[in-house]
Each structure stands twice: as C-alpha cells, then as structure tokens.
Amino acid sequence: MTQAASRPAAAPAVDIRIESPLWQGQPQAEATIRAAIVQAASFADVDGEVSVLLTDDDAIARLNRDWRNLDKPTNVLSFPAPETGAGELIGDIVLAYETLARECAAEDCLFLHHLAHLAAHGFLHLIGYDHQTDSQADEMEGIESQIMLRLNMPDPYDARERSR
C-alpha cells in the first residue's frame, strides 16, 4: 500500500465497547483510542465506522484461535470489513488488557502510549497496511511513528532502532 499524503480528513466514527472490567482501571483508554484512530485515518481516504472491543486475554485468545489458528492471546486483532461504499463499516479492532499490560511492563512504557500505538496499528491493518515483508513493515512502522509523534507520545520504534 502506498502512503497517502497526510491531510485533515473526516474522522471515522469510533464505537467502543468495553467487555472486560479490567479496562475500568484505564479511564482515559477510550479517548486515547479515538485520538489514535483519528490520526491514523489522516493517512488514508477513508470514511465509515470502526468498532473497537476492549477485552481480556481469554476472549482474544478464542478469537485468535478461531480466526488465525493461533491458540494464544495477542495484543491486538483487526478484522477488516468487506469492501463497501463510503460511510460503511471499516472494520473491527480487538484489544486485550492483560497482554497490553504485560508488554508495557516488559518494555517499560506507559499503558496509554502502548494502547495508542496498538489502536493505530490495528486501524492501519483495517485500511490495508501490513508488515509481512520488510518493506511493508518499514512503511507501516514509519506511519505509526508519525502518528505517535502527532499524539505527543514517544516513537515506539526508537528503542529498537537504537539497539540495532
């Protein structure tokens, strides 16, 4: 996918459902997710609605098993909607609380920063970006870095770049 020029665009509608009580400890989670998706949407010409499910490791592990044949939890899953007209569903993003919290502890990063990164990452998958090849990963990571900087949050790839 080629990167669209960054420009103001109509933000997609974001419907967030909290399925796990673990998320109650993060009162800024919804605002953080919305802000990340608005920034991610500025990299493409998209219009429509995104559904976000905030869940736990057990629920995301079931989805990961059923849809990807991987019987384990993951941090984020994205399910693009079938291509439809403008104003339709863009897709679904699912985020798991415990996996995010574990990754934050392991990477010594703030929960809301990592949440913003994963929300943006999930949205980019919905609009066609991927990281299966090195060039795809470089492109997607570059956009994610720009999104995080626009949110006044650290570039999630800085530490990795310094260790190369």
Number of separate domains in the chain: 1
Residue 137 within any structural domain of the chain? yes
pLDDT digits (tens, 9 = 90+) for 112-125: 999 999 999 999 99
Q: What is the DSSP letter of 75?
A: S
* Domain of 86, in residue numbers: 13-163
The yes-or-no verdict on residue 3 having pLDDT over 80 is no
Beta strands (DSSP E) in the chain are 13-18, 48-55, 76-80, 88-96
Residue 82 within any structural domain of the chain? yes
CB atoms within 10 A of CB 65: 13
Who's near 135: CB < 8 A, 6+ residues apart? none
pLDDT at 2: 40
Residue 106 belongs to domain with CATH number: 3.40.390.30
Residue 148 within any structural domain of the chain? yes
Q: What is the pTM of this model?
A: 0.88
Question: What type of residue is 162?
Answer: R
Who's near 136: CB < 8 A, 6+ residues apart? 1, 129, 130
Residue 23 within any structural domain of the chain? yes
Residue 76 within any structural domain of the chain? yes
Question: Above pLDDT 70, what percent of the chain?
Answer: 88
pLDDT digits (tens, 9 = 90+) for 62-98: 999 999 999 999 999 999 998 766 568 999 999 999 9
- Give the chain's largest Cα–Cα span: 44
Residue 8 within any structural domain of the chain? no
Residue 1 within any structural domain of the chain? no
Tell me the torsion sign for CA atoms 16, 86, 84, 6.
negative
Residue 6 within any structural domain of the chain? no
